[in-house]
Structure 1
């Protein structure tokens, strides 16, 4: 299996969780060389198998190269891709630039679509059970606010692609999505802001990234799941906010 952005944060948790369940892991990274090597060593110590591959997902040629390398490394074949890497840059509808919007769509939408297409091209040649692609989205796709404008648009496009790709690639490849809530410090957040914001959900509890990984494993291993998006956010998407939660906290806009 291939996990993009797998060296740190949620990607690292995903790689470790799948490795514990016996999956061979290919960890993609862009700049996190040392964390990627540390992850590889940890999985190896635990008796698992892990390869690491570097690529800039803003470069479509590099994405094609990543797909080729991953398909070659995975023996007897690649069964799963988790499109986890994201470009997350603050902008708004009033100030986004063409460059910001294009980069967000290239990294957050185009790269996942191309990697999933490459997986389909391989699994359609086999008689084994369908492969699985999982797009990591954001609870924001179910709970809109106008902050992080380019990022949000790119994730909305990827959320719609879940159903389209599931239809296009049946019966050879299942395509699902997962929508985590706030899990790690994001953008300009302070630790104090994060500690308050991570409890803005129906359960009023921080989201455990291990639970997100468990949900991804369920999607990957349950052959009946296809074309669906699973929110894993302690119910955060059921609490509409006028601003992104990190800003709503400081503005006093969150429910009490």
Structure 2
């Protein structure tokens, strides 16, 4: 009998480490950030770190309200405001729904973190149904288009967009064909959107995590044996933690990276890739 998917962070055999590892220094003071997929994993770590640095957070989640509420309470514990926005980012109307609520409640948008994603392992390309293929692209890349389109009128000079791509874009992944293809699209989107928006003073960058211990892999249906050895093929011989990835997003969101756009950071356990 197949083990039920572990949908919540608390369901995992070992809790991911989301806690910021240092005191804040107001690098995002009084800014407003949207974090898609902010209920758990990398999104949770980013939301809490941004809050520690002074930002109010819009946590966008698809269905896991319990994890989203937990993340909101963690943001509140940092002394900042969190709002929850339930939305399926892959739907064409989601971008407008998210932006309208954020602007209504928090009045502005300074940082957009496109982090939401899904994956469904398949060793044979013939096992990827048209429905799965379309769904993976809708969530992972179409949703970024929809949200940027909706947010752009509210993004002013100095705003930042950070997209989550993956090491699989650079290495490939025989068992994640559709997922890896979307990550290649995200990297191209990041570079092209940077060229498109740079004259408006809006910077666009990306983060390409390696194997990070989050609910994404067990939730996506990865076999138990692969989950057990997850991350061991990296030079560091272990998976990363969400709080080892979140600082890359913070760097790209704040003025520390004011001369950087169209680039990708690689928190991946020491794997050397080009680009």
Identify the TM-score tier after normalising by the shorter chain. 0.7 to 0.9
Partners of 2:127 and 2:77 in 1: how far apart? 48
Contact 1:120/1:169 (CA < 8 Å) preserved in 2?
no
Which among 19, 32, 39 is matched to residue 7 of structure 1?
39
How far apart, in 1, do the equivalents of 2:270 and 2:244 lie?
Answer: 13
2:119 is aligned with 1:88: yes
- The answer for unaligned runs of 5 or more in structure 2 is 1-32
Check the 8 A contact 2:213/2:240 in 1, yes or no.
no
Structure 1 segments of 4+ aligned residues over 6 angstroms from their partners: none
> Which residue of the other structure, out of 237, 240, 245, is the alignment partner of 1:207?
240
Note the 1:61-140 alignment, pairs <5 A: 61-75=93-107, 77-91=108-122, 92-123=124-155, 126=156, 129-140=157-168
Gaps of 5+ in 1: 239-256
Query: Does the CA contact (< 8 Å) of 1:200 and 1:236 recur in 2?
Result: no
Structure 1 residue 237: Cα displacement = 5.3
- Once the two structures are TM-superposed, the CA of residue 171 in structure 1 deviates from its matched residue by 2.4
Indicate the larger mover: 194-203 or 215-224.
194-203
CA distance in 2, matches of 1:65, 1:78: 14
Counterpart in 2 of 1:58? 90
Higher relative contact order, structure no. (Cα contacts within 8 Å, ≥ 6 residues apart): 2
TM-score by length of 1: 0.84
TM-score under structure 2 length normalisation: 0.79
**Matched-pair contact (CA < 8 Å) for 1:130–1:171:** no
Task: Please provide the CA RMSD for this pair.
Answer: 1.9
1:157 corresponding residue in structure 2: 185
| Alignment match, 2:207 | 178
**CA 1:150 to 1:193, structure 2 compared with 1: closer, same or farther past 3 Å?**
closer
Distance (whole Å) between structure 2 residues aligned to residue 113 and residue 51 of structure 1: 22
Change (3 A) 1:33 1:174: same
Match of 2:63 among 27, 31, 52: 31
- Counterpart of 1:141? 169
Deviation at 1:50, TM superposition (A): 0.7
1:54 deviates by 0.3
Equivalenced residues, count: 233
Alignment check: 8 A CA contact 2:211 2:268 kept: yes
Which one is further off, 145-154 or 106-115? Answer: 145-154
**Contact 1:63 1:111 (8 Å CA) reproduced:** yes
